[in-house]
C-alpha cells in the first residue's frame, strides 16, 4: 500500500457528530441540537468565522482525558483507512484550557492515543499545538508553557483561528522560543487573508511550512519565493470550498501551484465538518482538476518530504511509491 502523510488536520475538526452526541451523553451534557441530523444541517458555512463559532461550541463535549484519547484514536483509525502512515496533528490547547479543562489532562489524553498510533495503526505521529491568533500573545505564551510543562512530547507549534485582522507578528516571541527549544514551526496563512499574510508568517515567524497558503497564487513573486525556498503548503481542498475561499474544486489553485513547482500537499483540515478525510479530498481533486498519476505521486512524495518525520521514516514511506512505474498511482487499499 502506498503511503501518505497528513500534515494539516485539527483533532477537534475530526469530532464527528456521532461522537459529539456520545460524549455529551457520557459527560451528562445537553446539546442545543435536536439530533445528529439537526447538527449536520448547520454545517453550511458562509466563511471561516461561521465555521469557527460552531467548531469551538461543539468541542465543549471534550472534558476528560479519555474524551481526548477517544477523539484522537477515532481520527487515527479513519486516517489509516485513508492510507495515512504519518500524521502531524494540530491541537487547539487554548480552546480547552479557556473553558476550564486542565492542559495536562487534555494533552495526556491526546498523547495516550498518539503514543500507540504506530502499534495500533502503523502510523507514526507527532503533536503540534496550534496557538489561537484571535487571542493575545500572552495567552499564547502561557499555553506554550503549559504544553511544555505537561511533559507530553511536542513536535511543534502552529498558529490558527481567525486570520484577518490578527497579525502573526504578535506571536514572534513564542515562535522564537519554540524554535530555540528545538520545536518545528508552522502557521495558517493565506486562507482568507491575501498574500501579505503568507509573507508575514514567513518573515516574522520564520515558519517551516505554511498551512493553506493558497492565496499566494495571485502573487507571482511570492510563488517564486515558495518554489526557491521550497516552502511546503499544506492545502485543504474541501475546506477551501466549504468555507467559500475557493468557488469550486474545479477552479482550486492546487493544480496551478503544483505545476508551477510549489511543494503542495493535500490535507483534510476539519474532515468531520467539510465532507471528507484525506482519501476523499484526494479522489475529488484528482477528478476535478484532472491530475495525472504522476502528479498524484508527487503530492504523496511532497507530503512525506514536507513532514517532520525522521529521515529513516521518510525513506520507508517514500519507498512505498518506488515500485510504481511513472503512470500508475496504485490503490490506497
70 binds, among ligand ADE, Zn ion, none (CB under 5 to 8 A by kind): none
Q: Give the residue nearest to ligand ADE (CB).
A: 160
Residue 116 or 244: the one with the smaller Cβ distance to Zn ion is 244
Q: Which stretch binds Zn ion (CB under 5 A): 65-73, 149-157, 179-187, 269-277?
A: 269-277
Task: Give dist(CA 194, CA 218) in Å, integer.
Answer: 9
156 burial level (CB within 10 Å; 0-12, 13-18, 19+): buried
Which position among 6, 12, 88, 269 is part of the footprint of Zn ion (CB under 5 A)?
269
Residue 73 or 269: the one with the smaller Cβ distance to Zn ion is 269
Provide the grid cell at 99. Answer: 473553558
48 binds, among Zn ion, ligand ADE, none (CB under 5 to 8 A by kind): ligand ADE
SS3 283: helix
For ligand ADE, the binding residues (CB under 6 A) are 10, 13, 48, 55, 160-161, 188, 191, 239, 269-270
Q: What is the DSSP string of 200-248?
A: HHHHTS--SEEEE-GGGGG-HHHHHHHHHTT--EEE-HHHHHHTTSSS-
Backbone angles phi, psi at 210, to 5 degrees: -110, 130
161 binds, among Zn ion, ligand ADE, none (CB under 5 to 8 A by kind): ligand ADE
Residue 269 or 295: the one with the smaller Cβ distance to Zn ion is 269
Active-site annotation holds for 191: yes
Residue 160 or 231: the one with the smaller Cβ distance to ligand ADE is 160
Minimal distance in Å, beta carbon 72 to ligand ADE? Answer: 16
Q: Which of residues 22-41 bind Zn ion (CB under 5 A)?
A: none
Residue 6 or 269: the one with the smaller Cβ distance to Zn ion is 269
Residue 48 or 296: the one with the smaller Cβ distance to ligand ADE is 48
Q: Which stretch binds Zn ion (CB under 5 A): 28-36, 99-107, 265-273, 295-303?
A: 265-273
* Active-site pick, 6, 12, 163, 191: 191
List the one residue out of 159, 193, 162 whose CA is nearest residue 53. Answer: 162
H helices present in the chain, as ranges: 17-26, 36-40, 48-58, 65-81, 93-97, 103-114, 117-121, 137-150, 172-180, 195-203, 220-228, 237-242, 254-259, 271-274, 278-289, 293-306, 311-319
Minimal distance in Å, beta carbon 159 to Zn ion? Answer: 10
Minimal distance in Å, beta carbon 10 to Zn ion? Answer: 6
In the 8-state DSSP scheme, what is residue 190?
S
Q: Which stretch binds Zn ion (CB under 5 A): 102-110, 219-227, 266-274, 321-329?
A: 266-274
Minimal distance in Å, beta carbon 161 to ligand ADE? Answer: 5
Task: Give dist(CA 117, CA 123) in Å, integer.
Answer: 5
Minimal distance in Å, beta carbon 211 to ligand ADE? Answer: 8
Task: Give dist(CA 333, CA 317) in Å, integer.
Answer: 15
13 binds, among Zn ion, ligand ADE, none (CB under 5 to 8 A by kind): ligand ADE
Task: Give dist(CA 297, CA 305) in Å, integer.
Answer: 12
Minimal distance in Å, beta carbon 312 to Zn ion? Answer: 28
Task: With beta carbons less than 8 A apart as the criterion, state whether 238 and 215 touch.
Answer: no
The contact set with Zn ion (CB under 5 A) reads: 269
Residues serving a catalytic function are: 191
Amino acid at each position: 500500500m502506498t503511503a501518505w502523510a497528513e500534515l494539516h488536520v485539527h483533532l477537534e475538526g475530526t469530532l464527528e457528530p456521532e461522537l459529539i452526541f456520545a460524549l455529551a451523553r457520557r459527560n451528562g451534557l445537553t446539546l442545543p441540537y435536536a439530533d445528529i441530523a439537526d447538527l449536520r444541517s448547520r454545517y453550511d458555512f458562509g466563511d471561516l468565522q461561521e465555521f469557527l463559532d460552531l467548531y469551538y461550541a461543539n468541542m465543549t463535549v471534550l472534558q476528560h482525558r479519555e474524551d481526548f484519547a477517544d477523539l484522537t484514536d477515532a481520527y487515527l483509525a479513519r486516517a489509516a483507512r485513508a492510507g495515512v502512515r504519518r500524521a502531524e496533528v494540530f491541537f487547539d490547547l487554548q480552546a480547552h484550557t479557556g473553558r476550564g479543562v486542565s492542559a495536562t489532562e487534555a494533552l495526556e489524553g491526546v498523547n495516550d492515543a498518539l503514543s500507540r498510533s504506530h502499534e495500533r495503526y502503523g502510523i507514526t505521529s507527532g503533536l503540534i499545538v496550534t496557538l489561537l491568533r484571535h487571542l493575545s500573545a500572552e495567552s499564547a505564551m502561557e499555553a506554550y508553557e503549559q504544553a511544555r510543562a505537561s511533559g507530553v512530547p511536542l513536535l511543534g507549534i502552529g498558529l490558527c483561528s481567525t486570520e484577518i485582522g490578527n497579525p502573526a507578528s504578535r506571536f514572534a516571541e513564542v515562535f522564537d522560543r519554540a524554535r530555540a527549544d528545538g520545536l518545528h514551526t508552522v502557521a495558517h496563512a493565506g486562507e482568507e487573508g491575501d498574500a501579505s499574510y503568507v509573507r508575514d508568517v514567513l518573515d516574522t515567524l520564520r515558519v517551516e511550512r505554511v498551512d493553506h497558503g493558497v492565496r499566494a497564487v495571485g502573487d507571482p513573486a511570492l510563488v517564486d519565493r515558495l518554489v526557491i525556498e521550497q516552502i511546503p503548503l499544506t492545502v485543504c481542498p474541501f475546506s477551501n470550498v466549504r468555507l467559500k475561499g475557493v468557488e469550486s474544486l474545479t477552479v482550486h489553485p492546487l493544480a496551478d501551484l503544483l505545476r508551477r513547482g510549489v511543494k503542495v500537499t493535500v490535507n483534510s483540515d476539519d474532515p468531520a465538518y467539510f465532507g471528507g478525510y484525506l482519501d476523499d479530498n484526494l479522489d475529488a481533486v484528482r477528478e476535478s482538476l484532472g491530475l495525472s498519476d504522476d502528479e498524484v505521486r508527487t503530492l504523496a512524495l511532497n507530503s512525506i518530504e514536507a513532514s517532520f518525520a525522521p529521515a529513516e521514516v521518510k525513506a520507508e514511506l517514500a519507498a512505498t511509491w518506488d515500485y510504481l512505474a511513472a503512470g500508475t498511482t496504485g490503490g490506497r487499499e
